[in-house]
Amino acid sequence: MDDLFATYDALAVAGLIKARKVGARELLDVTLRSMRDANGLLNAVTDFYDGELLERSVAAAGEGPFQGIPYLVKQLMADCAGTPTTLGSRFFAREPIAAADSAAVRRMRRAGLVIVGRTNTSEFGLAPTTEPAFGGPTRNPWRLDLSPGGSSGGSAAMVAARALPMAHATDGGGSIRIPASLCGLFGLKPSRGRISLAPIGETLAGAGAQHCVSIAVRDSAALLDAVAGSEPGDPYATPPPEATFLEASSRPPGKLRIAFMRQPVGGPPLDPVLVRAIERTAKLLEELGHRVEEASPDYDAQKLEEAFWRVMCANTWTNIQVRANGRAPGPDDLEPVTRLYAERGRAVTADDYIRAVQTFHRTGRQLGTFFETYDVLLSTTLAITHLPLGTVRMDGTAEEFERAVAPMTPFTAVCNATGVPAMSVPLEWTNDGLPIGLHFVARYGAEETLYSLAGQLEQARPWRSRRPPPRK
């Protein structure tokens, strides 16, 4: 049982539990030991549940498709009753205490998941790495001098280490897909409104989303089936799928019209290693029967980037005020870049903010036009092959921070601004054995298309047996 998740995915293990071939409590105890061992190297989990808190999680888990599967929830955008959601910040380390589970967490528990702890994140999820001053850096199990990416790096590191098969992740500009790429995992960001953010109305003018990182495509699909859906009063609602996402993951996608791009819109050329990864994947897609050609959407990438930072800053300032409930951050409560962004956000005018949101919407229409011709857009997830710890710093200037972030998000952030679904799939590898995620984008509401394609790619070029090297 010690290495059960190396052989079986979450759905398969849940099936063993339901058939009484594996004991749920034994699995929980073994998984917690494995996670604690891995965490000694990775620093991925900020809080392990034990005692009464753990027993409450066990009691709250339903008999759904993931019955008895241990699960970790990121310290961002999801509340677990009775504990603080720290946002990776010293300022929120102890308060506010969540009075209730957020809507998505309630659905996770109903699906059978046993929440056993919270995972590390960059402060407020601002950085696409996971190196907060509060909590310290999370390390990538593929190479300990590298970051797993972020801001869902804590979750990705634990799943990549095979300590558990999937974990909660959030995505405001790429934070599911970036760590999925750097850790060799599958990560899908759903369409805007697919998973409710209740009790929050929205984040980042609708750019924020949540789901998971996983080893298996079908685990991701089944979890989306379990947690998708709107809550009363939600500002967005995504059209329901024709069938379940789990069914889509095992259904042939048919002949898709797939465009591929060798470099970001308005950006510099990619490293030849990444270009080769795109070209090899395009060839694989052709061999699978899809119509593949080179094409890029047309939008103003520079204006979109400016709009994104404006929305990010304004939200940083406002979220601090709302959550602090009158408390003022002390001099050491926020990291320098967070404080700079908050002060910038304080100065954003209504006119500035509305124009930024209009840029999001205009770009969404331009992307929508592109998807009238193509079903899927292919690129790499990142414009880099690896991320050494310390590359993205929160203790310098905002300009230095933004320069470091730029190669992390040129393919991902547009999907958040426009609300479309996108996924990172671990199909390629560097010469020294590090994972390269390939990025696939579809029109709004078309997660079924992505899951069908992902299932096909998982069969054609399996990745589950590729694991980080063992470490002591």
CA atoms of 249 and 221, how far apart (whole Å): 7
* Cis upstream peptide for 199 (omega within 30°): yes
151 is catalytic: yes
Residues β-bridged to residue 259:
293, 377
3-state secondary structure of 428: strand
Residues β-bridged to residue 189:
422
* Cis upstream peptide for 181 (omega within 30°): no
Q: Which of 34, 89, 122, 151 is catalytic?
A: 151
Region of residue 78 (phi > 0: left; psi between -120 and 50: alpha; otherwise: beta): beta
CA atoms of 284 and 261, how far apart (whole Å): 15
CA atoms of 241 and 225, how far apart (whole Å): 10
CA atoms of 229 and 235, how far apart (whole Å): 12
74 is catalytic: yes
**Which of 385, 381, 394 is CA-nearest to residue 171?**
381
Residue 119, C-beta contacts closer than 8 angstroms, at least 6 positions apart: 44, 45, 46, 72, 73, 74, 75, 152, 154, 155, 158, 167, 168
Q: Which of 175, 191, 214, 452 is catalytic?
A: 175
Could you tell me whether strands 376-380 and 435-442 are parallel, antiparallel, or unpaired per DSSP bridges? antiparallel
Distance of CA 65 to the CA centre of its chain: 21
CA atoms of 451 and 246, how far apart (whole Å): 8
Count of other CB atoms within 10 angstroms of residue 276: 13
CA atoms of 279 and 284, how far apart (whole Å): 9
Sheet with 114-119, side-by-side order of all strands: 45-48, 114-119, 70-74
CA atoms of 124 and 412, how far apart (whole Å): 18
3-state secondary structure of 360: helix
Q: Which of 57, 74, 152, 424 is catalytic?
A: 74
Region of residue 321 (phi > 0: left; psi between -120 and 50: alpha; otherwise: beta): alpha
Amino acid of residue 285: L
Looking up tokens 């590359």, which residue turns up? 391
102 is catalytic: no
**Which of 449, 428, 429 is CA-nearest to residue 440?**
449
CA atoms of 440 and 272, how far apart (whole Å): 19
The catalytic residues are 74, 151, 175
